[in-house]
Structure 1
Amino acid sequence: MTADLTAALSGTRILPVLTVPSATMAAPLADALADGGARCAEVTFRTPDAEQVVKAMAAHGGLVVGAGTVLTIEQTERAVGAGARFVVSPGFDPEVMQKCRELGVPVVPGIATATELMRALRAGLDTVKLFPAEPLGGTSMLRALAAPFPRARFVPTGGIRPAHLSGYLSHPAVVAVGGTWMATAEHLERGDYAEIRKLTAEAVERSAP
């Protein structure tokens, strides 16, 4: 699963996590992210327009688009049908995982404990979302979980800010870091796509080896 996810992320280690209230925002948002150097994005299924946002951003061509906050089989089917190339959940749900396997897309379940990580590994997954990363203890929690589970790979997400990036990205078990700071609700409400492009470019630069 790691190889498939790494391919979906197109070599980047930054994953913008987006909650987009209107499909009309999708095209300029995709332009801003791509211009800032992002190669992928996660659109959360938290708004009524989420499915259309995924569809519009997936059609952009410059981004590999996944769906986040996917909680049900029905959302999984809608997300993949709209063009999502990977699926992210806040927790571990065997039914969502199985549906993703049937549809042929990588799934990244959220975990917050060693027990949840063991369940994911036992199910044949090796990449999980450490969520919510900062409230759980940040890089200290990451190191604590990674040590006894050397096969596990992580996408830390939740409460992460630019100042945290180097700490996460320096750990060999981290595939990518997810964050909302590059395109917040306030940015989208103001239509401040220039700031989104700037913050994305800064994050991509920080993630460079």
Structure 2
Amino acid sequence: MVVVDDAAQGIGVATALAENGLPVAEVTFRTAGARAAIEAIATDRPDVLVGAGTVVTPAQVDEAVAAGARFLVSPGISRAVVERAQEVGVPIVPGCATASDIMTALELGVTTVKLFPAGVVGGVAALRALSAPFPQVRFVPTGGVSAANLAEFLAVPSVLAVGGSWMVEKTLVAAGDWAEVGRRTREAVEMAAPAAAQTVTTPSAPEEASR
């Protein structure tokens, strides 16, 4: 989960992530430079899977996709936003915090949701509780995920991936400290490796579940 102010910062983050084993960036769509950053990453770093986060209106769906976003993430569940994303053919992971949210997602044909804010709504305990009545749903917890609890979240079978910003902390990005961003990224990738290997080798896991 990346917060950047311009295209240069976007390229810096994308390069640091990719060169350290994590070629995925969700650029939050809440800064003036977010669109430019997505455009730059999509153009100059095609090896990085770039998406837009904090997408809260259908208009932002169009803007993000036009900029080159290959996936969308929303903090909540909005029929209008999800339906627009489906219309333009771009995957969206809507935010869900309750069973009712998840039921709305399922009604819209969405089976991968973002548990947000994970740390506030119950963390791992909430994931396990919500997984019971919704075994078909995969979760991407964000909000409260850190290096300290990354492995714990990834150990939950229904978790597809996690999202966090500790690797790309805004002060590091502002200072252009790509070495530290790279170090934190490598650390996170190493911690996630056992869970990723387990997902890939589990016969019952869907192919797209590799983390």
TM-score under structure 2 length normalisation: 0.89
CA RMSD of aligned residues (A): 0.9
The CA distance in 2 between the partners of 1:208 and 1:114, in whole Å, is 30
Give the 3-state SS of the residue equivalent to 2:59 in structure 1. helix
1:27 aligns with 2:11: yes
Paired letter, 1:67: A
The CA distance in 2 between the partners of 1:27 and 1:120, in whole Å, is 33
State the partner residue of 2:178: 193
Paired letter, 1:75: Q
**Cα distance, 1:83 vs. partner?**
0.7
Moved more, 187-196 or 19-28: 19-28
Q: Provide structure 1 residue ranges, at least 5 long, that are not aligned to the other structure.
A: 1-16
State the partner residue of 2:25: 41
State the partner residue of 2:56: 71
Over the matched positions of the two proteins, sequence identity in percent amounts to 50
1:96 aligns with 2:77: no
Q: Provide structure 2 residue ranges, at least 5 long, that are not aligned to the other structure.
A: 195-211
1:143 aligns with 2:109: no
- Map residues 119-138 of structure 1 onto 2, 5 A cutoff: 119-138=104-123
**Cα distance, 1:30 vs. partner?**
1.2
Give the 3-state SS of the residue equivalent to 2:166 in structure 1. coil
Paired letter, 1:69: T
Paired letter, 1:151: Q
Paired letter, 1:58: A
**Cα distance, 1:144 vs. partner?**
0.8
Q: Note if contact 2:14-2:41 (Cα within 8 Å) is conserved in structure 1.
A: yes
Identify which of structures 1 and 2 has the higher relative contact order when contacts are C-alpha pairs closer than 8 Å and 6+ apart: 1
The CA distance in 2 between the partners of 1:81 and 1:32, in whole Å, is 24
Q: Across the two proteins, how many residue pairs are aligned to each other? A: 193
**Cα distance, 1:196 vs. partner?**
0.4
**Cα distance, 1:39 vs. partner?**
2.1
1:91-145 Cα shifts (integer Å, max 9, x gaps): 0011111111111111100011111111111211100000000111110111111
Give the 3-state SS of the residue equivalent to 2:69 in structure 1. coil
TM-score under structure 1 length normalisation: 0.90
